[in-house]
Structures are given as C-alpha cells and as structure tokens.
Structure 1
Amino acid sequence: MFTGAWWWATALVVLDLAIRVLAVVFVPRNRRPTSGMAWLLAIFLIPYFGVIAFLLIGSPKLPRKRREVQEEINTFMRSISAEEPHDEARGKNPAWFNSLVEMNNAYGGLPLLAGNSGRLLGDYEQTIQTMADAVDAATDHVHVQFYILSVDATTAGFFDALERASARGVRVNVMLDHWASRGKPHYAATKARLDAMGADWRLMLPLQPLKGKFQRPDLRNHRKILVIDGTVGYMGSLNMISRDYNVKKNIARGLKWKELVLELDGPGVATLDAVFISDWYSETGEVIIEGVRRAELVASGDSPGRLGTALIEHREERGTMLTQVVPSGPGFERENNLRLFLGLIHAAQKRIVITSPYFVPDESLMYAVTSAVARGVPVDLFVSEVGDQALVYHAQRSYYEELLRAGVRIYLYPAPYILHAKHFTIDDETALIGSSNMDMRSFGLNMEVSMLVRDAGFVDQMREVEDDYREVSRQLTLEEWLKQPLRSTVLDNLARLTSALQ
C-alpha cells in the first residue's frame, strides 16, 4: 500500500520536474542568454525560491498599459524629429557620428539640435545653489524630476526657491521616484513641503497595488532633470538630497557623493523638457505645455499626438554644441543607452575615458572596451575605491582582472568619496553625460536619460574634469590586483552571477 508520505514525495518530485521543464521553456524567451542562464541556474538550484523570485522580478517590462502609453509617446517623438531640418546639424559631422544620431532618433525619437552652450558643475552644494538661483529666475514654469528628491539641510535652499516661484505664480511641476525617495529619511516631510508650497507633484512608477499601480518593484525612473521656462536645463548624476544621502551607514563611514551636472542653454533644452513632459504624461495622462499656447494645444484633449511640433521650439542659438537627448529604459524595445555606448566606443580612434560608479558590463560592452585597447585606442576607466552597494561593488570588481590584462587603465577615486558621476568622452569632439550607469540595471531596468554632445570646447571641459579625477585617484595595477585574497575573489564572482538576474 502506498502511504500518504509516499504520495507527497511523489507529488514533490513531479512538481520539481515540472518547474524545471517549464523554466527551460519560458525563462530564456526574449531574454539575454546570460540573464536566462542565471535565472535557470537559480531555479534549478533552489526551485521554489527561484520560481517565486522569478514571478516577482523576472519580467524586465513595464505593465502592458504603460508600454502602450510609452509607444504612443515614442511615435509622437519620432514624428517631431522627422520634421526637423537635419542638414545644418549634421553637415560637418563624420559619417559614423551621423549614423549614431540616426540610430538614436530611431530608438529614442529625439533630434540632434545645433546652437547650444553648456557648462559642467561639479561642486555638490554649489550645483544645488546654482539650480536654486535658476528657479528664482523662473517666470513661467519649473519642471523638476529626480530619482531621489528629499528636503534636508543641503537641499533646503532649492525647496525655498521652488516655494518662492510658486508664490509668484510660476507653475511648479515635480516628479520623484516612489521607491527610491520613500526609502530615504524625510520622505513624509518632502511630500508635505511640496503640498504646502502648492506644487503639482507626482510619484514616478508608484508601487500602489491597491490603486492598481504596480510593476516589477525594481523597475525605476532613474532620471535627473530640471528645466526652467524651457530656456535652461540641468541633467546629470546628482540626486536632490544631502551628499551622504542621510543614510546612517553612509554617515558612519563618512561617505560623500561626487557628482557631475550639465547646465544647458539653447534649443536642446526643449528636447530635455520633452523627456519630462513624456514622463508626466505617462504617470498622469495629462499633457503639460506651458506658455501662451497651452490652452490652444490641449483644447482638443490631452494626447501627445495632438500637440504638433510645438513641443520642440527653436530658440535663438547660444553656442556651438550639437546635442541629442537619448531616453532609455523598459518602455523602449531596445536598450538605447547600451547601443549608443557601444557605437561610441567602436568609433573611437584616439582615446576613450569612461567614468561610471557602477561598471558591470555585459559581454558586448566588455568586448568593445577590450577591443578598443587592442586596436591601439587608450582606455581610462574611473571608478570608486570604495562602494556603497555591496553586490554591485563586488560584481564590478570581478571584471578588473580581465580589464587590466587587456590594457585598460583603471583609476580608483579615493575614499570617502563615491564617484557617482556618469559620463565619457571619445577622441577630441564627442562626449556623453547623463544618469545612466554602465551596468545591466541601467541598460534594461532603469529609465535613464543621456545627452550626446559634439563639440570640441565641451570636450575640453570634460578633459579638465577627467584630469582632476586622475590627479587625486590611484591607478590600479595588475600586480596589485593579483594579490587580492581568495575570499574577495569568491565574493566578486558570486556577485557577478547575481548581476545577470534580469
């Protein structure tokens, strides 16, 4: 006779087999081979936990309704770009650069625009003060979008400026990522302050299942954008929060974040604003176009397809910079930022300098970087000596030996600073800056914004920043790295495996 225990054992064996068979069928579908293999490994080794984790965070896509909204926006953006005169902006560029612009336009929908000027802001507190001063000059609207937005002693002046702007009748629209901001101190105080000043604020990608708003929890909006009156814009790596993020363990370790922000003036500001307006529409279903034509534009209903070409207005030229804004994230079919990074690295002929706080490349990016060195292009990589996120820190370290053996020069920015800036340059005239890290999270899970720049003068500014990094950093050597203890190597390799779970 078969006992109850036997039936239970048989059922568990059958269930275990079914899980493994179904995993092989469904997990690798439309997924990177490395990511599919990592998920299969997790499910095969720890079936029940692995399945639960896969059901919770296995899909790298936004909900279907949200993807439909994003596609509506993408189609609209491409229609705008199609009407842009391209000859003036592209005429003197090398063929490889124009082909990358065409790719960015196809995937992100925004055009390359001439006539911009920009300056780099690297001092943390002074950057926030500069933003506050710009808000104080606003006469029509202020668009604020930060992955982390928090009122504290460091950011108080910025919030004061927003309050003054609102009091004088300037429309203040604010977006902050729900999960990232709520996890920091002063979240309730921040929301209360925005309410008190009369700002119109929204949470990005809110996790509110009771309100029907839910997606994979770690799909986040990682963008940092500030636009004032459509005339001046800011974008880069800085979150609007204290330099230590008000986190106890950061304070105990004395950690301080090092950032880089671009202040932009010229026609390209409108494309940066277009990203904000798109995100606002995605979250609210409302179109916000400020200025005298707002009533006319939205009279027929809030739909981006009804706005015509007015979203991107041509302003007086302010400089020599060519700029193209490239949005990316789970709302797009392709990994827009990764493809742009790869195109730039493969195009480089003289030098490549990369700054990334979280450098956890996929195979294509590793091949691009190491191949560049092999064909005679020097590559410098700036990363932090210490890390704030253990898994990412150790996953990043797992690539150091291969990079060093290939000839990449790795510079460790000294503790207690976290080099959080995200930018790189190739040759003498091309640069990129934005919110995107060079890791698989930024490629596939985070909504990011990058700006491609073609201008020798701007690259000179970037070179000054890179030289400052180099002056204070320590170059890591292969000889030093090979002395790492075995326990560190084990931790690095384990973290590398988890980095592919997307």
Structure 2
Amino acid sequence: MTVALSSPGAAISAILVAVNIAIILGALLVLPGGRRPQTAMAWLLLILAVPLFGFLVFLLFGRTSVGRKRRAQQEEVNAAIMARVPLNDIADAERQAALAPLVQGFARLNRELGVLPMTFDNSVELIDDYVACVEAMARDVATAEDYVHVQFYISAWDEVTAPFFEELVRAVERGVAVRFLFDHIGSKGIPVYKDMLRKLEGTGIQWAPMLPIRPLKGEVRRPDLRNHRKILVVDGRVAFSGSQNLIEACYDKPKNQKLGRAWVELMARLEGPVVQELNVVFATDWFTETGEDLREVVGAVPPPVDEPVRPGAITGVGVQVVPSGPGFTTENNLRLFTSMLYSAERRLSLTSPYFVPDDSLLYAITTAAQRGVEVELFVGATADQFMVAHAQRSYYEALLTAGVRIWLYPEPYVLHAKHFTVDDRVAVVGSSNMDMRSFALNYEVVMMMTGAEVVAGLERVQDTYRSLSTELTLDVWRARTRGQRYVDNLMRLTATLQ
C-alpha cells in the first residue's frame, strides 16, 4: 500500500485531486461576487462537473472586465470630454419639461447612466435599404470639409462598400481628417479582412482596431468582449447609426451569397444636436484605442445651416444617445429597455435578431402582455449563430403562453435590425440586441427617440416585416421534437456563462 501511494501515478492523482479541490473552493469564493446568481450558478456547475476544464474556460470567458487600465482610460476621457464639450448647451430644459412625465423619467435615467442629455429639433431619416444606406453614407462623406469619423463593428472593403471607402480616400486627398475604427475580432473573421488592411495602407486614413487581441504586444482579454457600435459622423453636421455593419449584405461569404442569405438592417441618418452626442461616443473610443484627444474637434459645433428638409426626413425629433458596455457598471441599455417596456399601455413592437433576455427583461415583456398590452416580437426564422439561435428559441414558449405574438422573418434572410416602439410615444434604434451579450459584454450605442411621427415611421418598417413574416403559434411550437427541445434548452444554459 505504501509503495502504491509513493508511485508516480498515485502522486499525480493526488496532485490532481488537490488541484480540483482548490479550484472548487476558489470558485465558491470568487464566483458569487458581482455576478447574477444564475450566472454564478452556471459557472459553478461547470466547474463542479469538470474542474480543470471549467477553470480554463472561466479564465477565457468568465471575466467581463476590460481591465483596469482601459477602464481608467475611458473614465478619464469621459470626464475630459464632458468637461470640454458644451453638452448643456444642447440640452433644452423647457423642451424636456414639456415631455410626457414617463419620457422625462427615461431621459433623466439615461443622463444619470450615460451622461448625455436629451436633444431636440433633430432630423431623422430611417433607412432600411442596405445598399442605399451605403450610398447615402458615401454621398455625405463626399461633402466633408473638416473630418470624418467612422466606427463599425464589422468592416470590409468590398464591392458594395468600395464607393464609401473611395470617398474616404478622396476626402483625405482634399485635406479632410478621416479616422476609422473597426472591431479587431469582429472584422478579422471576414474573408477580405487582410485585403482591407492592405488597401488602407498608404491612403492617409487614420485607423485602429478596437479591443485588439495581440498577445505578443501584451493585449490579452476575454475574446468575446467586443465593440459592437456603428457610427458615422461627418463634420459634426450629419451622423448615421443603427444596426448595419460596413460590409456587403451577405458578409462576403460565398455560402451566404449562394443561399441568398442577406442581412436586413435599419439605420438612421441624423442631423441636429444629437450628432454631437454620437461624436462624443466616437471620441471616447478613439482616445481609448489611439491616445489621441479629440476634445477640440468634438467641442467645435458647426453653425446651423438653413437647408430645405430632405425627402423622407422626419423633423423636430427628440433624440438621446445612450452608450453602454463594459466601460460602464450599470448596464445602461438593459435599465432603459426594462423601464420603457414596463411603461407600455397599449402596444409594444420589438425587433431583435438575438433575443436572449435576462429575467428582468423577460418579466417586463411577458408582464406587459399579461396586463393587456399588444406585444409583438420580430425575429428571424433563421439565424447566423447556432448557439444563440437555439438559446433564443428556448424562450418562445414562455412568450407565446403569456400572449406575445412572434413573427418569423423568412429565410434565407437574416433579420439583423434592432429597434422597438412603445405606444406612439417613444422608440429605440441602435446596435444593441436584447440579449445578455449586448447588456454585459459588448460596447453598444442606442438612440431613444420621441415623437409620434418618428414612432409612426418605425411602425411602417414593422408593418413591412409583418407582411413578409409568418406568425408562430403555440400549438406549432409545442409540436417540435424532443431533440429540438433538448438542444434549445442546452444552449440556453450557455447564455448565462458570462
């Protein structure tokens, strides 16, 4: 017996047992702190089941922090820009006081969480034509005189976006400063990524990857912490923001092109004081990635220009920009969304390609339906991400049982737009999905918009979705196979591992 215990195999076994016990004890100490109970429990179950593997996975994906240095940089630039940029000049106390009390509360919440105030007298154009949006952005870049700020989660210089990039190059040639941010991991997975980098060289465009992962340069972090924002600002006069990435609609992937799998998006073209707020969001990310201080640039507000109203533009819109992400500790988008959903009196219309809500959001939606609010959810019949798609499906029965109507946008298209409307009063458009990744892991930016006309504009977009979609019924959903249920429920567990 003594010989067996002293053998190398027994010693290794004893060490592994000790390591497993240490990992489990450490998990019990560390995991409950600062996490949702269900998230902590999911991680704990994984580590209890396979301690060493679970520990390694936790090291890769368990931390939602972007690191002390990056967080400190963001806090520094946030404070500096807010001190320099006259945001109070674009906040209109009288107009805000005239808002409905509930909307006043949303605006106050947003400013408390994300600093930026409600702005008024904005012009908004809703663009749901993919190629037309790229063309519109290129036309505005062609008018640039001072600077162009470009920030997109996924970027590619391909046949569809080439006119846009060519306008950026021409802008540089006439002395315009062009700054370009793209997410490192988000863009790197695109087949033409290296080709884009090659084309950028020598153009004079200033560019930087966001949240880069380059171990040899000491840049290591959780790989799925990403910057998901989509922003274009031209001279502080006009801006674009929404759900669309800077890439061809099939994401330059031959399989998607063969199947006709194109992404369906919604972007907003904006003029007015809200442009400065989107510029502030860009400036904070630019400083974090490059160290360049854009306070002077962002603080210089161009004088108003008396121009005729553009066809399709909705004027007099109140808009408030709400940034969120790991740089904030308050999950700004989740707090706004749940507050707005609970306020609904008559109708809620939600569009989210990746719908994996936490309990608070799920309760807000189902409670609204159960108290008589007409609630509808637009999602794709197909999705581009296996795990998320099945996790999303695991929520359908609870939604349908509560009375939520679910509309499935037809294959092969991927409904990727992200927006919702509450009654005829207020709406949200932006980059944020209704999933835990957007709430806790991604840097996002959304815009809260007020006014019956802009809500009606979004409802027309939703009417188009409805005319093309098939309604999912509870009977049909309950008829799916046990195997499908198993996969859906299994993938739901992965949603909490954050």
The one-letter amino acid of 2:16's match is: L
Alignment partner of 1:125 is 2:148: no
Residue 30 of structure 2 is matched in structure 1 by 26
How far 1:314 sits from its partner (Å)? Answer: 7.6
Q: Is the 8 A contact 2:91 2:117 kept in 1?
A: no
Alpha-carbon distance, 1:312 to partner: 6.2
Match of 1:50 in 2: 54
1:162 counterpart letter in structure 2: L
Matched, 1:384 2:380: yes
Cα distance, 1:109 vs structure 2: 1.1
User: Are 2:278 and 1:272 aligned?
Assistant: yes
| Structure 1: distance between partners of 2:284 and 2:300 | 10
1:350 aligns with 2:346: yes
Counterpart code for 1:262:
A
Residue of 397, 418, 424 corresponding to 1:428: 424
Distance 1:76 1:95, change over 3 A: farther
| One-letter amino acid of the counterpart of residue 247, structure 1 | K
Q: CA deviation at 1:343?
A: 0.9
> Any conservation in 2 of the 1:151–1:190 contact (CA below 8 Å)?
yes
CA distance in 2, matches of 1:451, 1:405: 31
The one of 449, 460, 467 aligned to 1:464: 460
CA contact (8 A) 1:267 1:313 kept: no
The residue number in structure 1 matching 2:312 is none
Asked whether the 8 Å contact 2:237–2:302 carries over to 1, the reply is no
Is 1:147 equivalent to 2:153 in the alignment? yes
Deviation at 1:49, TM superposition (A): 0.8
Q: Which of 3, 6, 19 in structure 2 is aligned with 1:3?
A: 6
Q: Is the 8 A contact 1:75 1:109 kept in 2?
A: no
Task: State the Cα deviation string for residues 327-350 of structure 1 (Å, max 9, x = none).
Answer: 000010110111110111011111
Counterpart residue number, 1:107: 113
TM-score by length of 2: 0.94
Cα distance in structure 1, aligned partners of 2:153 and 2:123? 25
Are 2:217 and 1:183 aligned?
Answer: no
Among 76, 79, 83, which residue is 1:75 paired with?
Answer: 79
Aligned residue pairs, count: 485
2: distance between equivalents of 1:247 and 1:209? Answer: 28
1:255-334 residue pairs with structure 2 within 5 A? 255-288=261-294, 310=299, 315=304, 319-334=315-330
The CA distance in 2 between the partners of 1:184 and 1:40, in whole Å, is 35
Q: Which residue of 2 aligns with 1:220?
A: 226
Tell me, in whole angstroms, the C-alpha distance in 2 between the residues paired with 1:205 and 1:216: 10
Q: Which structure 2 residues correspond to residues 166-181 of structure 1 after superposition, within 5 A? A: 166-181=172-187
Range that drifts further, 40-49 or 403-412: 40-49
CA distance in 1, matches of 2:258, 2:52: 38
2:214 equivalent among 190, 202, 208: 208
SS at match of 2:46: helix
Once the 2 structures are TM-superposed, how far is the Cα of residue 12 of structure 1 from its aligned partner?
2.3
Q: Residue 436 of structure 1 contacts residue 442 of structure 1 at CA under 8 Å; is this kept in 2? A: yes
> Which region of structure 1 is more displaced relative to structure 2, 318-327 or 371-380?
318-327
Matches of 2:69 and 2:300, distance apart in 1: 24
What's the offset of the Cα at 1:73? 3.1
SS at match of 2:461: helix
> Are the aligned partners of 1:271 and 1:312 in contact in 2 as well (CA < 8 Å)?
no
Question: Structure 2 vs 1, CA of residues 167 and 82 (structure 1 numbering), >3 Å: closer, same or farther?
Answer: closer
1:213 CA drift (Å): 2.2
Give the match's secondary structure for 1:446: coil
Out of 480, 490, 494, the residue aligned to residue 490 of structure 2 is 494
Structure 1 residue 75, shift from structure 2 partner: 3.1
Comparing 170-179 with 245-254, which one deviates more in the overlay? 245-254
Unaligned runs of 5+ in 1: 295-306
- SS of the residue aligned with 2:202? helix
Q: Letter of the 1:361 partner, please give it.
A: P
Quote the offset at 1:129 in angstroms.
0.7
Contact 1:78 1:105 survives alignment (8 Å)? no
Q: Which residue in the other structure is 1:195 paired with? A: 201
SS at match of 2:428: strand
1:14 maps to 2:18: yes
Matching residue of 1:301: none
Q: Go from structure 1 to structure 2 and tell me whether the alpha carbon gap of 1:56 and 1:312 turns closer, same or farther (over 3 Å shift).
A: farther
Match in the other structure for 1:303: none
Contact 1:78 1:106 in 2 (8 A): no
Assess, with a 3 A threshold, how the Cα gap between structure 1 residues 492 and 314 changes in structure 2: closer, same or farther: farther
Question: Aligned to 1:161, what secondary structure does the other structure show?
Answer: helix
Given the superposition, is the C-alpha separation of residues 183 and 482 from structure 1 closer, same or farther in structure 2, using an over 3 Å criterion?
Answer: same
The alpha-carbon deviation at position 70 of structure 1 amounts to 1.4
The whole-number CA distance in structure 1 between the counterparts of 2:407 and 2:489 is 21
Give the aligned partner of residue 297 of structure 1.
Answer: none
> Which blocks of at least 5 consecutive residues in structure 2 are unaligned?
310-314
Question: 2 CA distance for matches of 1:191 and 1:236?
Answer: 24
Q: 1:45 to 1:469 in 2, by over 3 A?
A: same
SS state at 2:178 partner: strand
Distance 1:268 1:16, change over 3 A: same
Residues 238 and 269, structure 2, Cα contact 8 Å, conserved in 1: yes
CA contact (8 A) 1:430 1:452 kept: yes
Task: Say if 1:313 and 1:44 are closer, same or farther in 2 by CA, change over 3 A.
Answer: farther
Distance 1:104 1:177, change over 3 A: same
SS of residue paired to 2:220: coil
Q: Distance in 1 between matches of 2:177 and 2:14?
A: 65
Distance 2:81 2:99 in 1: 23
CA distance in 2, matches of 1:251, 1:392: 22
How has the CA–CA distance of structure 1 residues 132 and 316 changed in structure 2, closer, same or farther, with 3 Å as cutoff?
closer
Amino acid of the structure 2 residue aligned with 1:153: E
Is 1:405 the equivalent of 2:401? yes
Residue pair 2:91, 2:118 contacting (<8 A) in 1 also:
no
Alpha-carbon shift at residue 170 of structure 1 (Å): 1.2
Matched, 1:37 2:41: yes
Cα displacement (A) at 1:7: 3.0
Aligned mates of 2:111, 2:100 — CA distance in 1: 17
Distance 1:99 1:397, change over 3 A: same
Give a deviation string over 1:33-53, Cα, whole Å, max 9, x none. 111111111111111111001
Match of 2:369 in 1: 373
Q: Aligned in 2, Cα 1:252/1:20: closer, same or farther, shift over 3 Å?
A: farther
User: Aligned with 1:196: secondary structure?
Assistant: coil
Tell me the CA shift for residue 18 of structure 1. Answer: 1.8
Q: Give the counterpart of 1:394 among 356, 377, 390.
A: 390
Give the superposition deviation at 1:163: 1.4
Whichever residue aligns with residue 56 of structure 1, its letter is: L
Which residue of structure 1 lines up, in the alignment, with residue 142 of structure 2?
136
Moved more, 36-45 or 66-75: 66-75
Aligned-pair identity in percent equals 46
CA deviation vs aligned residue, 1:93-143 (integer Å, no higher than 9, x gap): 122211221111111111111110101001111111111111111111111
Between the aligned partners of 1:113 and 1:177, the Cα distance in structure 2 is 28
Give, in whole Å, the separation in 2 of the partners of 1:82 and 1:137.
28
Q: Aligned pair in 2 of structure 1 residues 41, 171: CA closer, same or farther (>3 Å)?
A: same
CA displacement 1:353-412 (0-9 Å, x = unmatched): 000000000000000000111121111100000111000000000000000000000000
Give the secondary structure class of the aligned counterpart of 2:98.
Answer: coil
